[in-house]
Amino acid sequence: MNRKGINYDVGIEFFEEYMSRPSFDPKVVHREIEIIKSDLHCNAIRISGTDIDRLMVAAEDALKQGLEVWLSPHLHDKTPDETLAYIVRCAERAEVLRKQWPNLVLIVGCELTWFMDGILKGDSFEERLGSPLAVLIKLKWLGLHNKPLNIFLSKLTKAVRMVFNGQITYASAPLEKIDWSLFDFVGLDYYRSAQNRDSYGERLKRHFTHDKPVVITEVGLCGYQGAENKGARGFMIVDGSNPERLKLNAEYVRDEAMQARELIDMLKIIETSGAEGAFAFTFVTPALAYNDDPKFDIDMAGYGIVKSYTGGKHGKTYPDMFWEPKAAFKALAKYYAE
């Protein structure tokens, strides 16, 4: 793979009560990007977030450090018009960076069937993601979401290319059938679960028929027993009835070794498929902190390859950081180095 990447979150506002990175310190960001390049041996980074200023700070830092940046603005639960205006504003700012550092790709959206208002019924992405099985089957077989999605993406890409002169792509869900003629790369958030475990590599083949390089924009899993069967829905184990004290909705067993093993196995399959690159999901999840009490260890609901601490606790491996690498960190570093 030419792109050996990791997802890096600067703060996605999933809803008013939840920001995935509550605080943003440019010095911490600089250090984490440094570790991503030097210790994880990445040559590319997908930077995701909602606040455009945060995105630009992190992108400029990563570009200065020599990484290829895949910039991925996220705006959730807004109308198509609001989403388009937001992405274009981000594209205008990204073009300023790209003129100085051409090593920048813009991801103009992520799984908008779920995250944008207007394609599926539901007042929030949670409602749309939680659609009954019958709805999901209907989506898969009838594909009624694809026409409005591609109409929007056609309008969006035209607007973006008027202000951004670099390469662009879209981070698609497997259920989305995208008109890839609009883009420079085929982008796919591609997780493995019980449903596609035996066909994970085989199902990738259909994405190589568009005469475009294929990049896996997300691949990963949570670090608890059973998460290897849940794929992209592994995070749905949090009881949010008390937002002030999040806890898990049942008993789960932390299994960092499984997370590491499964992640590398998926990456090997992706590499064998001939993909241009892959971005492991994800580096750090500050809002999902580790806890010694398994009931409140919501880090298990995150896909991070490091576990975050609260209360000012520092890690041992990197004493200047508020997290500690998991087994997946070490496994990914070894895999990318080789």
Give the model's confidence band at 132: pLDDT under 50 very low, under 70 low, under 90 confident, else very high.
low
pLDDT of residue 130: 65
pLDDT of residue 15: 78
- Sole residue written with tokens 């992640």: 263
pLDDT of residue 273: 96
Question: Kind and range of the H or E element at 115?
Answer: helix 112-115
Q: Show the CA angle centred on residue 62, arms to residues 316 and 111, nearest 5°.
A: 95
- Sole residue written with tokens 């989305």: 176
CATH, residue 18: 3.20.20.80
Q: CA-to-CA distance for 147 and 244, rounded, in angstroms?
A: 40
Instruction: Specify the higher pLDDT residue, 137 or 128.
Output: 128
Contact predicate 220/232, CB 8 Å: no
Question: Kind and range of the H or E element at 151?
Answer: helix 146-161
3-class SS of residue 316: coil
Q: CA-to-CA distance for 38 and 255, rounded, in angstroms?
A: 26
Contact predicate 173/231, CB 8 Å: no
Quote the pTM value.
0.96
pLDDT of residue 128: 74
The arithmetic mean of pLDDT across residues 309-316, rounded, is 95
The arithmetic mean of pLDDT across residues 14-41, rounded, is 94
Q: CA-to-CA distance for 8 and 15, rounded, in angstroms?
A: 19
User: Strands (DSSP E) along the chain, which ranges?
Assistant: 3-9, 13-15, 18-19, 44-49, 68-73, 104-110, 168-171, 186-189, 214-219, 238-239, 247-248, 277-280, 306-308, 323-325
Question: Which ranges of 162-275 would DSSP assign to H, the alpha helix?
Answer: 256-273
**pLDDT per position as a tens digit, 267-292:** 999 999 999 999 999 999 999 999 99
% of the chain at pLDDT higher than 90: 88
**pLDDT per position as a tens digit, 152-208:** 999 999 999 999 999 999 999 999 999 999 999 999 999 999 999 999 999 999 999
pLDDT of residue 251: 97
Q: How many independent structural domains does the chain possess? A: 1
Number of H helices, E strands in the chain: 9, 14
% of the chain at pLDDT higher than 70: 96
Length of the chain: 338
**pLDDT per position as a tens digit, 46-56:** 999 999 999 99
Say if residue 126's pLDDT is above 80: no
- 260: nearest Cα among 298, 319, 307: 307
The amino acid sitting at 12 is I
The arithmetic mean of pLDDT across residues 80-90, rounded, is 98
- 85: nearest Cα among 165, 170, 156: 156
**pLDDT per position as a tens digit, 215-228:** 999 999 999 999 99
Range of the domain at 167: 3-337
Provide the 10 A C-beta neighbour count for residue 210: 15
